[in-house]
Amino acid sequence: MKQIVIVGGGTGGIMTAAKLVKEKDMAVTVIEPAEYHYYQPAWTLVGANTYNFEDTKKKMSEVMPAGVNWVKDYAEKLDPDNNKLITRSGEEIKYDYLVLSPGLVYDMSLIEGLEDAIDKGVVCSNYTDPKHTWDVLKNFKGGNAVFTQPTTPIKCGGAPQKIAYLAADYFRKSGIADKTNVIYATPGGVIFGIKEIKKTLEKVIDRYGIEFKPHYAPVKIDADKKIITFKFVNADASECVINKDNKIHEKMVGDTTIEMPFDMLHLAPPQVAPKFISESVLANEFGWLDVDINTLQHKKFANIFGMGDAAALPTAKTGAAIRKQVPVVIGNIKALIASGHITDKEYNGYSSCPLVTGYGKMVLAEFDYEGNFTPDPKLKQMLIFDSSKELTRLWWLKKYILPRLYWNKMLKGKDV
Ligand SMILES: Cc1cc2nc3c(=O)[nH]c(=O)nc-3n(C[C@H](O)[C@H](O)[C@H](O)COP(=O)(O)OP(=O)(O)OC[C@H]3O[C@@H](n4cnc5c(N)ncnc54)[C@H](O)[C@@H]3O)c2cc1C
């Protein structure tokens, strides 16, 4: 019996456990301290009051596959040379194969003032408290509505702009659009890296009159004065796709520093790998899990695999990406057990970003490591023929179909 230990009972951990527990020659342990498992993709909709937060949450005991040995604790110290790890309570757990999917953590200290500001007053984040986002939107009476994201990698890179579109739509519907400046400020140079999607999003930005501010990296938040400070980064003006005449009241306070007052602020917090990964020998120089980007096998330890948000993969960190990573990890572990070699099955960097562009509208960005637009052929079964366009059917997919597929199929180890 091979001992398979999985760290993390989130999207990657449960999907992997649900499949491996069906194998006769494997004993599966999941190390996971949390009481609840969340369907985070719906938090965008919660922030816009079109999805119930309680429906994004299930007890961990309900999603933990039957037959798994659940250790309700944190993995604290990894000891890959001795094929074991130590939990926070000091338990030593040995493994033949280790799968790491512990997600990422927020590091508020990377933006001055964020720790005190987040989730209070008019500062909100769908990443930390989507219900507060809705409170802020509901109570907003006009002025500068600022949406931004940090310079670190983040999960679901599209989430900071999705809520900007939903908010802009909501401000229109509630009749305050003409006294509101919606500003989307990002350290990036373009609105989206895939050209088919970028084209559509530029039209969306135009429609709402959103001020798109590329190369803006948030560095400081003064919650009392309601001012956010940005550093102008990577100043290649040719990449600024949409930058209309400055309606916004903002000022340069140095060569590269801009202060912007806000009447509401939504941001994605800076995100890093959990310490037990970043401080271990398994991390790369930036702290992320150092796995091969195609085989997902650790670069130094052949019996360790990594997936999901914690892994150093140059693609968008999403649950959709994990759906394609899990079969590669499972195939490789089974092949290692059977023959001592991994398979030639490779993860191609597939990820997807469901870009909600308003109530009832969505664009679905699906892509690979090369930045190719790779729509799922199954979309045609839903009569979706061009997912780079805003479609109501895609909204239905996001709001009604994907959550059901997640809870009832993906987390049950069934192929979708
Ligand atoms: C606002 C928002 C919108 C999003 N939108 C989308 C979307 O539209 N589509 C999409 O596909 N994805 C979306 N995502 C991203 C998606 O939810 C994540 O990419 C996915 O959940 C990552 O899975 P994971 O297994 O890597 O980590 P997680 O699902 O975060 O799970 C990690 C688990 O590991 C546990 N853990 C942490 N540390 C330890 C430790 N030391 N020991 C043991 N266990 C530990 C945690 O408790 C947690 O349960 C969104 C996320 C957010 C926040």
What is the distance between the alpha carbons of residues 299 and 65, in angstroms, rounded to a whole number?
Answer: 29
The tens digit of pLDDT for each residue in 299-309 reads 999 999 999 99
Q: How many Å lie between the centroid of ligand 1 and the Cα of residue 415?
A: 20
pLDDT of residue 307: 98
User: Closest by alpha carbon to 280, among 301, 297, 259?
Assistant: 301
247 pLDDT band, cuts 50/70/90, is very low
pTM for this prediction? 0.95
Q: Given CA atoms 28, 31, 32, 38 in this order, what sign does their dihedral have? A: negative
| Binding site membership of 320 for ligand 1 (Cβ less than 6 Å) | yes
Each residue's pLDDT tens digit, 356-407: 999 999 999 999 999 999 999 999 999 999 999 999 999 999 999 999 999 9
* Residue 255 binned pLDDT confidence (cut-offs 50, 70, 90): confident
Widest distance between CA atoms in the chain: 67
Query: Is residue 127 lining ligand 1, measured as CB closer than 6 Å?
Result: yes
Q: Give the nearest ligand 1 atom to 308 CA.
A: 26
Interstrand relation of 271-272 and 26-31 (parallel, antiparallel or unpaired)? unpaired
| Ligand 1 atom having least distance to the Cα of 321 | 11
- Identified catalytic residue from 353, 355, 402, 410: 353
Residue 54 contacts by C-beta under 8 Å, 6 or more apart in sequence? none
What rounded mean pLDDT belongs to the chain? 95
Nearest-atom number in ligand 1 for the CA of 276 is 41
Residues 6+ apart with CB under 8 A from 110: 150, 152, 270, 272
pLDDT digit string (tens) for 171-208? 999 999 999 999 999 999 999 999 999 999 999 999 99
Instruction: Give yes or no for residue 170 CB within 6 A of ligand 1.
Output: no
CA distance 405 to 415: 10
* Residue of minimum CA distance from atom 1 in ligand 1: 127
Q: Which of 75, 104, 156, 394 is catalytic?
A: 156
Q: What does the pLDDT read at residue 305?
A: 98
Average pLDDT of span 94-104:
98
Say what percent of the chain tops pLDDT 70: 96
The DSSP code for 188 is S
Is ligand 1 within 6 A of the CB of residue 44?
A: yes
Ligand 1 mutation target, pool 5, 6, 11, most atoms within 8 A of CB: 11
pLDDT at residue number 246? 37
Residue 232: its pLDDT value, please? 92
The Cα-based distances of 104 to 17, 97, 193, 252 in angstroms read: 19, 21, 23, 34
pLDDT at residue number 225: 97
| Percent of the chain clearing pLDDT 90 (strictly above) | 94
- Residue 175: what pLDDT? 98
The closest-lying atom of ligand 1 relative to the alpha carbon of residue 319 is 11
Kindly give the distance from the C-alpha atom of residue 312 to the centroid of ligand 1, in angstroms, as a whole number.
15
Report the separation in Å between the CA atom of 339 and the middle of ligand 1, taken as the mean of its atom positions: 32
pLDDT of residue 237: 41
Active site residue 353: yes
Q: Is the pLDDT of residue 316 over 70?
A: yes
Read off the pLDDT band of 251 (50, 70, 90): confident
- b/e 70-108 (16+ beta carbons within 10 angstroms → b): bbbbbbeebebeebebbbeeeeebebbbbbbbbbbbbbe
Q: Domains of the chain (ranges plus CATH)?
A: 2-104+273-347 (3.50.50.60), 108-270 (3.50.50.60)
Would the CB of 157 count as within 6 Å of ligand 1?
A: no
The closest alpha carbon to 325, from 362, 350, 360, belongs to 350
Task: Tell me, using a 6 A CB cutoff, whether residue 306 lines ligand 1.
Answer: no
What are the tens digits of pLDDT across the range 77-89?
Answer: 999 999 999 999 9
Report the C-alpha gap between 56 and 41 in whole angstroms. 9
**C-beta separation of 363 from 200 below 8 A:** yes
Q: Ligand 1 pocket check: which of 76, 87, 155, 197 to mutate, most ligand atoms within 8 Å of Cβ?
A: 155
36-73 per-position pLDDT tens digit: 999 999 999 999 999 999 999 999 999 999 999 999 99
Q: Which numbered atom of ligand 1 lies nearest the CA of 47? A: 1
Instruction: Give the pLDDT mean for 14-34.
Output: 97
Could you tell me if 70 and 64 are in contact, meaning their C-beta atoms sit under 8 angstroms apart? Answer: yes
For residue 249, the model assigns a pLDDT of 56
